[in-house]
Amino acid sequence: MAQDPKPDAEAAAPASKKKLIIIIAAVVLLAGGGGAAWFLTQQKSDHKKVEAKHEEPAHAPVFLTLETFTVNLQADPDEKFLQLDLSLQVPTPEAAEAIKVQMPAVRSRLLMLLTSKSASEISTVEGKQELTEEIVAEVKKPFAAGGKPQEVLGVFFTSFVIQ
């Protein structure tokens, strides 16, 4: 008795269909897993971007430019004068306004400080750095008894001439 070749072909067809289904399912799972991984990493980076946006943004520096100072310096040995332009750095526009309101007192304090200096004291880099610290200290002093000190972050010389 000879066997019919059709049963072998029919048996092979379901096996190849199962393989095809398994391959398609594996491709779908891999693609889905890759897509899910990409989605989650993008979501994390978007979350980091949102966190970065919620951090306090850097404020632009606030500078208050004072009028030119021209003062006589202490004699050592001959008399000299100082012509000085400077700007104060303050933390907020409100702090700048608080100093502007008291500008006559600020200028008076700084004039008294500057006239107490000799040319040799302030002509070096170290002397200028010490002068900036003294200017900050003078401006920070409260304007009224029991008042709150002013907020000053720094002093910047824009012109400094000794003659």
The string of pLDDT tens digits covering residues 32-70 is: 777 777 776 776 555 555 555 656 566 789 999 999 999
Q: For the whole model, what pTM was predicted?
A: 0.64
DSSP letter at 83 equals E
- Per-residue pLDDT band at 6 (split at 50, 70, 90): low
pLDDT digits (tens, 9 = 90+) for 93-131: 999 999 999 999 999 999 999 999 999 999 999 999 999
Residue 18 has a pLDDT of: 81
Non-local CB neighbours of 114 within 8 Å, separated by 6+ positions: 69, 71, 73, 82, 84
Helices (H) and strands (E) in the chain, counts: 5, 4
- Report whether pLDDT(12) > 60: no
Quote the tokens at residue 12: 């092979």
Residue 7 has a pLDDT of: 56
Residue 52 has a pLDDT of: 58
Mean pLDDT of 84-90: 97
3-state secondary structure 116-154: CCEHHHHCCHHHHHHHHHHHHHHHHCCCCCCCCCCCCCE
Residue 125 has a pLDDT of: 96
Say how far apart CA 142 and CA 148 lie, in whole Å: 5
DSSP sequence for 32-44: HHHHHHHHHHHHH
Average pLDDT, the chain: 84
